[in-house]
Structure 1
Amino acid sequence: MDVPPVIEDSRSSSRRILFVADDPHLHRFLRQLMEPLEEEWRPHYSRGGPEALRQLEDGPYAIIMADVRLAAGFCQELLLQARQQTPQTVRIVLAGPGDQDLLLRVLPLVQRILSKPCDPAELYATLQRTQSLRELLRSPSVMTVVGRLGQIPTLSTLYSRIADELMKPDYSLAKVGELVSQDPGIAAKLLQVANSALIGLRRPATTPAQAVRVLGGELTRTLVLAADLFSRYSPAQLKPFCIDQLWEHSQSVATLAGRIAQHERLDERNTRDSTLAGLFHDIGQLLLASQLPETYREVFHLVRRENMSLAKAEHQVFGATHAEVGAYLLGLWGLPDPLVEAVAWHHIPEQCPGTTVSPLTTVHAAEALLSEREGERPHIDYLERLGLDDHWERWQELSRKAEAVSREVPIK
């Protein structure tokens, strides 16, 4: 099998990978998979959780890839230690069809999930996409804009408490519902989302506890994060930027991206990430407009005066776009990489390596469809690379149906 080239990087730590598996067959299989890549990467191997914990002291590693079935529950402890010691390390787990319960416990700590047994092409593509995303988010232009921000939002206490609850072996959705109820603003936003076309509940939820029972813990956790971000700012302070309009647009993109994912028969995880990425795809706008309001007004002037796209105007004023800034924030918070890359590249998907349909594909298509009246079109070269260039008319029909549903179920 041809091994795809991996982008060069002079920093040796960015090439170090720690593979952790106490299953001797998986351990040997991973070594064989990495042999063709040893000139580009620096693989290290551990035969179990305790040994891997010791090896973390020799870090930093660019990537840690661990079997979710590590003995004695060491996978969760290993990922937790890695996040605490080197938050920039990408945490990947290998999981099989029967590992759902184990996977649920570590999901708050994981950025990518690979199927087990691991397909060589999938592994190589994952390394390439991970490296490309890290290079984008650490580029000088993005770091310059981030450096100008007065304050980068931190994870809320509520989000952290929900994440902690979900990592318990005997976690309780009732407890998660109680936690959400403690913040009226976030609870109201969560109910709005749960009862909108975005989620499509058969029966409307009237309390946070009901919403949580239907949504499940993981979806609730990420929706709380979105609701918290949109609840932090006063609309009057952000004018001419309209936070309510952004919230409505984000929900519309999320709804349509999820439907495209279902139409393309993506698995449950990618369908969920498509929806969530749609909800977060323009979060960088909120960050720039709230932290650099005067400069962001220059962006609006360029859009109106020069008839320029928002992303192009942002790049001219800041040297980076809201997509990159938003992805930086989500990466900082440790959200899953497929979600982060969908935010980062949703305007320029052809710059993301890979040939498979992903949340990036669905979010890019959804935003293009919803902006079609303004002349927005998808990047055809990207769709051709994925073999989807003839899917556009089908997606247009999905968009028309989603618009009809949104008129029946108002998005507030």
Structure 2
Amino acid sequence: MPIAETPETLVMGMPQLVSPSVAVARVWAILERDDFNFAEIAEAIGQDPALTARLLKIVNSAFYNLPVRIETITRAVGLVGADTLYSLALTTSVIHSFRKIPTCLVNMNDFWLNSLYCGVISRLLAKEASVLHSERLFVAGLLHRIGALIIYLRLPDKAREILLAAAGDDRLIPGLEKDRLGFTYAEIGAELAKAWKLPEALQEAIRWHLEPELAETHRLEASLLYLANRLKTVALLGFPADDVIRAIPDEVAVTTRLDEGQIMKVMALASEQFSETAAVFMPGVYLQH
């Protein structure tokens, strides 16, 4: 009788994805020390010219809207923070890692654009909620469905059954995964975030964004990601914004303390910022869309 898969075994069974690029791994090793300096981080990132170029492009884009142009990674670390730069470096690397998923299961262009929209909304909601380091919520939004890709790669037959049963309604997928696999994509995503040594707030936001009321230490982040995941359907699937807002659970509304006016403001800003952000973070994907 075959041993049942778990989120842990699925993630550990793909070491090529669990292990980040050499440059990103070096940055994490430096961050684990108490006595690191920005020059060391810049040197580690500088070993990967493509990664260096992507990060400088992000820092100099409207995503940060800095008043001066940043020419070096050392300066970038000083402005956005070492942890944030690590998360951004990992994220841009991850986008290039998943290339062998059957197109019959997922369109990767649509997957990343969908995830990007969630990231844009998450970041804007975090700003409205006065969360420090709102870029972390952008990363959480961008990676919130990353566990689904592991299911597609490791359990393609089960994934196909789940997608057929959902019949195009993504809202049904977590329940179907729980019934047929015993866990959801969110649980796998949290295991990946843990393996990648992302901050605990990101791990928990990804793990509990489907059930934010169960989050213990980072309920606000999980609630904001839950809300962003719901609100992205407004723009991507054309659902009425009012319907989505009315369906927000009381626990999420109390935790985030965001009113309808703030949420509508975020949706308007997200619509304005999406194209520009996509062009910066994933130009190849965006141009193919």
CA–CA separation in structure 2 for the residues paired with 1:229 and 1:307: 23
Structure 1 position 174, deviation (Å): 3.7
8 Å contact from structure 2 (residues 213, 219) kept in 1 = no
Q: Quote the sequence identity (%).
A: 22
Q: What SS is found at the alignment partner of 1:358?
A: helix
8 Å contact from structure 1 (residues 173, 216) kept in 2 = no
Q: Structure 1 residue 154 and structure 2 residue 22: aligned? A: no
CA–CA separation in structure 1 for the residues paired with 2:273 and 2:45: 28
Structure 1 position 325, deviation (Å): 0.9
2:224 to 326, 341, 362: 362
Q: Report the equivalent of 1:173.
A: 38
Structure 1 regions of 5+ residues with no counterpart?
Answer: 1-139
More strand by share: 1
Q: Report the equivalent of 2:205.
A: 342
2:103 to 231, 239, 243: 239
Alignment of 1:276-291 (within 5 A): 276-291=139-154
Alignment of 1:10-409 (within 5 A): 144-148=6-10, 150-152=13-15, 153-156=17-20, 157-168=22-33, 171-184=36-49, 186-187=51-52, 189-191=54-56, 193-194=58-59, 198-202=63-67, 211-212=76-77, 214-234=79-99, 237-240=101-104, 241-266=106-131, 268-269=132-133, 271-304=134-167, 309-353=172-216, 358-372=220-234, 373-374=238-239, 377=244, 379-386=248-255, 388=257, 391-408=259-276
8 Å contact from structure 1 (residues 345, 352) kept in 2 = yes
CA–CA separation in structure 1 for the residues paired with 2:186 and 2:59: 25
CA–CA separation in structure 1 for the residues paired with 2:224 and 2:162: 27
Q: Larger Rg: 1 or 2?
A: 1
Structure 2 counterpart of 1:365, one-letter code: L
Q: What SS is found at the alignment partner of 1:309?
A: helix
Q: Report the equivalent of 1:69.
A: none
Structure 1 position 200, deviation (Å): 4.2
Task: Specify whether residues 237 and 179 from structure 1 end up closer, same or farther in structure 2 by C-alpha distance, changes over 3 A only.
Answer: same
CA–CA separation in structure 1 for the residues paired with 2:125 and 2:108: 26
Task: Specify whether residues 272 and 407 from structure 1 end up closer, same or farther in structure 2 by C-alpha distance, changes over 3 A only.
Answer: closer
CA–CA separation in structure 1 for the residues paired with 2:168 and 2:274: 32
TM-score normalised by the chain length of structure 1: 0.55
8 Å contact from structure 1 (residues 187, 208) kept in 2 = yes
Task: Specify whether residues 173 and 307 from structure 1 end up closer, same or farther in structure 2 by C-alpha distance, changes over 3 A only.
Answer: closer
Task: Specify whether residues 307 and 177 from structure 1 end up closer, same or farther in structure 2 by C-alpha distance, changes over 3 A only.
Answer: closer
Structure 2 counterpart of 1:406, one-letter code: F
TM-score normalised by the chain length of structure 2: 0.75
CA–CA separation in structure 2 for the residues paired with 1:319 and 1:253: 25
Instruction: Give the root-mean-square deviation of aligned CA atoms.
Output: 3.4
Structure 2 counterpart of 1:164, one-letter code: A
Task: Specify whether residues 174 and 280 from structure 1 end up closer, same or farther in structure 2 by C-alpha distance, changes over 3 A only.
Answer: same
CA–CA separation in structure 2 for the residues paired with 1:387 and 1:311: 23
Structure 2 regions of 5+ residues with no counterpart?
Answer: 283-289
More helix by share: 2
Structure 1 position 327, deviation (Å): 0.9
Structure of higher RCO (CA pairs closer than 8 Å, 6+ residues apart): 2
